[in-house]
């Protein structure tokens, strides 16, 4: 009887699962064409330094996919599709190319020539053999100062083949490129890399900031992360700052760099442009 029930359950859900699976494949195929069909767009979100005054220090580039039928699809949804489809590097190359073009544009504007631009690189892309040569190729095609580009990596890149990742980061850092650890504190890696890697920045994930006013444990974690950053002489950016009260709290903990809706939402043009 139990077996029969199990079978019924499977039969009941199967069409739904089947449909989900097909939709996923469909999206994955659509995404593969998104570059050629010019459906990708970079949005930019300001990164701020706030002491007595607030000044923009640059921006993070965030990828958007405008699907013809479904409208904007979140990168949280489509980045994994491109990773599974084995073509995340094509999206990554597109992002890098457009990021460097943006940096080149900023270079010509005295008010923005000191801004840096951060891009996100997924582990699957970073692991590729041709990653470094591709970065070099793009700098040749679109010359701009490497120390204005910041690559945001998550701790995940250090799990698969840490030695290889470290070698790559060292090589790119020797070109002048900056490195940031994104979603700091949410990964599974050890803190060993803080000693070994030429990184300039830690980004405290929004999940720690969200309830910072009420949650004492989040306060302890954030305070500790800021402390680690300071002791290692790193920039510490608090992500996802939405209210003045969160800002005040973070400032009282010694944080000076911020990103979040309080200052600007990701947008195709920065308000100062
Ligand atoms: P991330 O790199 O941690 O980016 C921060 C995310 O938080 C962005 O979501 C941003 O829009 C959102 N955010 C910023 N401030 C606030 C705030 O105050 N409140 C709230 N609720 N959200 C805020 P987005 O743009 O949807 O991107 C999600 C993730 O997708 C990124 O997380 C990043 O991991 C990935 N991603 C985005 N663009 C790219 C890309 O070009 N390449 C790769 N490989 N991944 C990307
Ligand atoms: Mg990021
Ligand atoms: Mg982040
Ligand atoms: Mg995040």
Write out pLDDT tens, residues 152-198: 999 988 877 888 999 999 999 999 999 999 999 898 778 888 888 99
Q: What is the whole-number distance in angstroms between the Cα of residue 182 and the centre of ligand 3?
A: 5
Q: Could you report the per-residue pLDDT of 187-242, keeping only the tens digit for each?
A: 877 888 888 899 999 999 999 999 999 999 999 999 999 999 999 999 999 999 99
Mean pLDDT of 12-36: 87
Ligand 1 pocket mutation pick from 44, 62, 208, 257 by most atoms within 8 angstroms of CB? 62
Q: Would you state the pLDDT for residue 10?
A: 53
In SS3 terms, the chain reads as CHHHHHHHHHHHHHHHHHHHHHHHHHHHHHHHHHCCCCCEEEEEEEEEEECCCEEEEEEEEEEEEEECCCEEECHHHHHHHHHHHCCHHHHHHHHHHHHHHHHHHHHCCCCCCCCEEEEECCHHHHCCCCHHHHHHHHHHHCCCCHHHEEEEEECCHHHHCHHHHHHHHHHHHHHCCEEEEEEECCCCCCCCHHHHCCCCEEEECHHHHCCCCCCHHHHHHHHHHHHHHHHCCCEEEECCCCCHHHHHHHHHCCCCEECCCCCCCCECCCCCC
């Amino acid at each position: 009887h139990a077996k029969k029930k199990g079978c019924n359950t499977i039969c009941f859900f199967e069409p739904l699962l089947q449909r989900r699976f097909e939709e996923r494949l469909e999206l994955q195929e659509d995404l593969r064409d998104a570059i050629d069909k010019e459906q990708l767009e970079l949005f930019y979100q300001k990164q701020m330094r706030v002491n007595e005054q607030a000044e923009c220090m640059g921006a993070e580039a965030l990828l958007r996919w405008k699907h013809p039928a479904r409208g904007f699809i979140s990168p949280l949804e489509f980045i994994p599709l491109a990773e599974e489809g084995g073509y995340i590097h094509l999206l990554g190359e597109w992002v890098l190319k457009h990021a460097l073009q943006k940096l080149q544009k900023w270079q010509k504007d005295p008010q923005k020539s000191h801004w840096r631009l951060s891009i996100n690189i997924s582990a699957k892309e970073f692991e590729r053999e041709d990653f470094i040569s591709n970065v070099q190729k793009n700098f040749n095609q679109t010359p701009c100062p490497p120390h204005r580009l910041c690559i945001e990596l998550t701790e995940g890149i250090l799990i698969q083949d840490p030695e290889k990742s470290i070698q790559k980061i060292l090589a790119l850092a020797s070109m002048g490129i900056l490195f940031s650890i994104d979603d700091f504190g949410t990964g599974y890696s050890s803190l060993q890399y803080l000693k070994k890697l030429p990184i300039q920045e830690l980004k405290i994930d929004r999940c720690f900031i969200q309830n910072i006013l009420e949650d004492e444990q989040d306060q302890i974690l954030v305070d500790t992360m800021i402390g680690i950053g300071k002791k290692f002489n790193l920039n510490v950016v608090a992500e996802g700052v939405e209210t003045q009260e969160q800002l005040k709290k973070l400032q009282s903990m010694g944080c000076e760099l911020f990103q979040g809706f309080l200052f600007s939402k990701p947008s195709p043009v920065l308000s100062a442009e």
